[in-house]
Structure 1
């Protein structure tokens, strides 16, 4: 999953915990350095429990990673930019099912890869350049023994100066995410996890996708609980302000729900929390209290989890970068405007692709737009993103310029973008526009204002990826049922692809999905920032603003379909409806993407 009226009060993506936690962590590091030997491949043994607040948009952008997976006969190559590297799972099998393009010279099937066109020595050059450099959130710092270790940054109010602690994140971690690497760990991990989850489901005898689950064990017995019915009855009582019935239903749900149980038990846990907050009238306060953001290391883990087990990140990146590369195929200058760039994790793969273009790369200019950080340096994170991308562009010999705009999307003016008629212009938004307020909240809809601005830019291509859920309705019960079905699909997807004890799964459920559920269920008005619409609603909105939809690229669609069908769980959906490419799970469409252009 991003914007709200009092957005200045919320922390940005990598703002971290309070001073007490920072001091405590410093002592941990001193102890670690004294008693633990350096090990660049040591695994982080726990998920960091951050107490910092979320970023100003309340969401982690699950659209910034791409990779280049290859096949040895069953799995096809699509797009891969992640090496498990820093935290290899103990579940990884010794013999992977799919071989990397770096280690296998023969593949029964191979999809052309726009992310890995550069020679391997160029990638090695980048990695060597960054091998001994370490990034903080805003500037380079000193070396640390544990590259996976990330310290919290002091939480800053609008009256405080921006400053950083001495703990660093290595740029090697970024390279492992952003550049091409071996595929073996990912495919082995996926296969091992699926084998474990299949065995668990068979042992439990759970009815897949039914909305029912075994409750907590009592006296050796497990009761089959219909959580969907219980949650719906509880929501109806909450909507009617029937506190007696609502509390009765909540007690019954909590007897069996658990954040450590199976998929439906976990889903029921987070929905029960949200219904209780709405019933008490403290939804906004509860949302702010639980809205925390994981550290950069944990963000990488979340991305890695989603890339391994689902198509939602990888296919979206492939669709976006392939479309931009094709529209700029013969251009000498390319300008990309990214609404919600965060750390720009998807762009090094495009830079790598452009570097090997016949005739030489174009001059690339990226305008990164994202919400400002509180403090005296609101564009700090964006500027660091630009410096990091400039480093990659230099290594790949791609002429590069970066323009940082730290402001709300709806306040951007066309003059801020420094448009040039001689450039090919591409505009992108992935999973961020669903958090803009619409006409039901503000008379002059910021959602329409941003789309109107994009139409005035007259881009050669506008790429829109959205979360497909009708959770923008002002009617509570309609919104509740839609959210219940949407998140049931996501929790069920995790249940059948990731074992219960995987820490990254717990982190994703608690700090992403759990927070989104709380906001959708317990908050109203401007405090409700999670407002996804269906792709059909976006179709109507875009056409009303003055866009026409572009045909899907058949090569992109077929490559993506082949990869999903050959490498991922059989219950994932990838199909087309009109000119939308849709992704989902077990009949439920959860994400969609398409390309647009001004109609005139």
Structure 2
């Protein structure tokens, strides 16, 4: 492992991968390798959880953490990759199919009936949740508690989608009423990184959002960089680096050989004496992966609050093609409703100053980032109703444990943060994609046209490989993905305005 700010540089020779392949399944192979070859994942908490739990603290620990002594260990070499784990070849032609236009639908409440002593009891859990939220907003705590008791009676972490969703909202309501939201959100979990990564693997197998975003983003980057000898990718929110194995393999197939690739991985500092340790681990994995494809790669790790990153941290070479990437993590940067310094706009302004060739921006399309609790709570219920319904419809048989774990550790914690945390401790702050577009333009960006062939490829893959209720379509220069007409994710490309 390397101290923060240290660069890794590897040159690899004797490539043996020359066939034309589609690297659609690269993230699965990368995950498989991590889970098979890294025993420490069974003992470490997951980056998905720890980084945001630390960020949610009212007082920043960063200055304390970076003063701790960091030491270098040589990373243990990963075992040789088995050929079967590399991105499998998809030889059939992806035929274009027209995008199905979905009308926006209102998520209907599930009405459950329970017979008790000859009486049919009608229970509408989403409606009960919304009523409970209204009572909390008006400080009618006794009535909120009574409604919560009814919700508890009919909810369960392993029932149908409505019961599961209500269970995690009930946890969050209790935490808010008891004043323990932040403590519960930051509470350590007994679930290891390996367990959560297995559940994440099951999630991306069932849901196309992240994989399809990577297909569009990475192939767009590849097309823009087709004649460049040096490419530098600055990734705000890199986590485990799941986006980059596919682009490494794709660049290795470029006629004339791969370019020199530099990746700068940026993420929030982790708790403990070595705040950059897991961002460095990501770099070590990506470098080992690149060896398989004869890609000359350099990696640098940065563990800071994003608004504190400066140009001197980045080692920019003006001869390189500069790509800035932020995939669905900008929502965790605080906005002007919390801090007068406007960290969210400051990060976008900093990216503009870097003058990148392309800024790839993926956003979670959410409407529950408002200070009015009643409105925020209601919008959160609508949003998570969609997510739980989606998992119930798409989870593969035998994957129920992974589904339950993902709902508990990801959705459940997000719900706690949205419902039971306020101020700086509320770090789940999504905005509608059009609002992000306005922010980007104010920061000095203009939107780039999406490659229609790549959008068609994504549409066809989703239609052929996923549940019929997933949707993909294009709104101007945004690629939108969602479920049953509700837009959940949006992706676009930007460049500095001249």
Q: For this structure pair, what is the TM-score category when the shorter chain's length is used for normalisation?
A: 0.7 to 0.9
Residue of structure 1 aligned with 2:87, choices 177, 180, 192:
180
Residue of structure 1 aligned with 2:412, choices 489, 514, 528:
514
Residue of structure 2 aligned with 1:80, choices 7, 10, 25:
25
User: What is aligned with 2:423?
Assistant: 525
Give how far 1:378 is off: 2.5
Give how far 1:351 is off: 1.1
**CA–CA distance in 1 between the matches of 2:349 and 2:30?**
43
User: What is aligned with 2:472?
Assistant: 574
Unmatched segments (≥5 aa) in structure 2: 1-21, 55-60, 91-105
Contact 2:323 2:359 (8 Å CA) reproduced: yes
Q: What is the SS of the residue equivalent to 1:422?
A: coil
User: What is aligned with 1:399?
Assistant: 296
Contact 2:27 2:243 (8 Å CA) reproduced: no
Contact 2:444 2:497 (8 Å CA) reproduced: yes
String of CA shifts for 1:78-136, please: whole Å, max 9, x gaps: 8112558999xxxxxxxxxxxxxxxxxxxxxxxxxxxxxxxxxxxxxxx8xx99x9445
**CA–CA distance in 1 between the matches of 2:121 and 2:423?**
39
- Normalization by structure 2: what TM-score? 0.81
User: What is aligned with 1:151?
Assistant: 43
Give how far 1:307 is off: 1.9
- Normalization by structure 1: what TM-score? 0.68
**CA–CA distance in 1 between the matches of 2:312 and 2:31?**
43
Contact 2:45 2:191 (8 Å CA) reproduced: no
Please provide the CA RMSD for this pair.
Answer: 3.3
Unmatched segments (≥5 aa) in structure 1: 1-76, 88-126, 138-148, 184-207
Contact 2:23 2:246 (8 Å CA) reproduced: no
Give how far 1:419 is off: 1.2
Contact 1:178 1:346 (8 Å CA) reproduced: no
Give how far 1:578 is off: 1.4
User: What is aligned with 1:9?
Assistant: none
Aligned residues: 443
**CA–CA distance in 2 between the matches of 1:280 and 1:231?**
17
**CA–CA distance in 2 between the matches of 1:503 and 1:182?**
30
**CA–CA distance in 2 between the matches of 1:346 and 1:175?**
20
For 1:188-227, what aligned pairs fall within 5 Å after superposition? 210-214=108-112, 223-227=121-125
Distance 1:135 1:543, change over 3 A: same
Contact 2:331 2:363 (8 Å CA) reproduced: yes
Contact 2:234 2:266 (8 Å CA) reproduced: yes
User: What is aligned with 1:352?
Assistant: 249
Contact 1:341 1:368 (8 Å CA) reproduced: yes
String of CA shifts for 1:288-315, please: whole Å, max 9, x gaps: 23x6374232232222222221111110
User: What is aligned with 2:311?
Assistant: 414
User: What is aligned with 1:323?
Assistant: 220
Give how far 1:175 is off: 7.5
For 1:191-340, what aligned pairs fall within 5 Å after superposition? 210-214=108-112, 223-289=121-187, 292=189, 294-340=191-237
User: What is aligned with 2:14?
Assistant: none
Give how far 1:523 is off: 1.0
Q: What is the SS of the residue equivalent to 1:453?
A: helix
String of CA shifts for 1:170-200, please: whole Å, max 9, x gaps: 95699899831489xxxxxxxxxxxxxxxxx
Give how far 1:252 is off: 1.1
String of CA shifts for 1:431-483, please: whole Å, max 9, x gaps: 11001000000001110111011000111110011110012111111111111
**CA–CA distance in 2 between the matches of 1:509 and 1:310?**
14
**CA–CA distance in 2 between the matches of 1:533 and 1:396?**
38
User: What is aligned with 2:378?
Assistant: 481
String of CA shifts for 1:15-69, please: whole Å, max 9, x gaps: xxxxxxxxxxxxxxxxxxxxxxxxxxxxxxxxxxxxxxxxxxxxxxxxxxxxxxx
Between stretches 420-429 and 493-502, larger displacement belongs to 493-502
String of CA shifts for 1:195-229, please: whole Å, max 9, x gaps: xxxxxxxxxxxxx9532242667579874421121
Contact 2:31 2:197 (8 Å CA) reproduced: no
